Chains A and B, each alone.
Chain A
Amino acid sequence: DGGITQSPKYLFRKEGQNVTLSCEQNLNHDAMYWYRQDPGQGLRLIYYSQIVNDFQKGDIAEGYSVSREKKESFPLTVTSAQKNPTAFYLCASSDRDRANNEQFFGPGTRLTVL
């Protein structure tokens, strides 16, 4: 079955550590996205990538980094520079060639800073 997988489901981090969240898709989509979700704030865009080896900052990119070396993979690193990293992180993908922006979402990773 085609879809998006995120791992791990739960992640705990000590303050000062970098952590990397995995996102893989087998939908053959060109575009991939990372969102952060906090209670009462909806989803906010961290980074997005329209094509391999290219990505752009979203609305809240500070303290995060990404790479897009393969079409199917878009890992997100939460660095120690992110002041409040505890949140639910969602990865999504879309078909860049479609006229619309319909996005498909993974199940999410909950990150907790101890």
Chain B
Amino acid sequence: GQQLNQSPQSMFIQEGEDVSMNCTSSSIFNTWLWYKQDPGEGPVLLIALYKAGELTSNGRLTAQFGITRKDSFLNISASIPSDVGIYFCAGQLDNRKLIWGLGTSLAVNP
């Protein structure tokens, strides 16, 4: 099925560093969602974006809906050990189905 291009595939950073990851698509989406998944758990919604150009923050997380509606990025500032996990972007079409990125695996070294 269709998938989004998400990069980087994995990151290994030091605690306190900022992190940036992004997703791109050849298709236009109406909604972009960012999720975090811990091992053995379901994804947890972090940020939802509904308008092109929209910039939204949730604590140390900031995400933007690209102006072309074909991309989005997620930034994490001042990373902490509990930020470890896999981050997924997802674009949503009018039929409400989510198209998923392949995930960015984040490891934080204390």
Do A and B pair up? The answer is: no
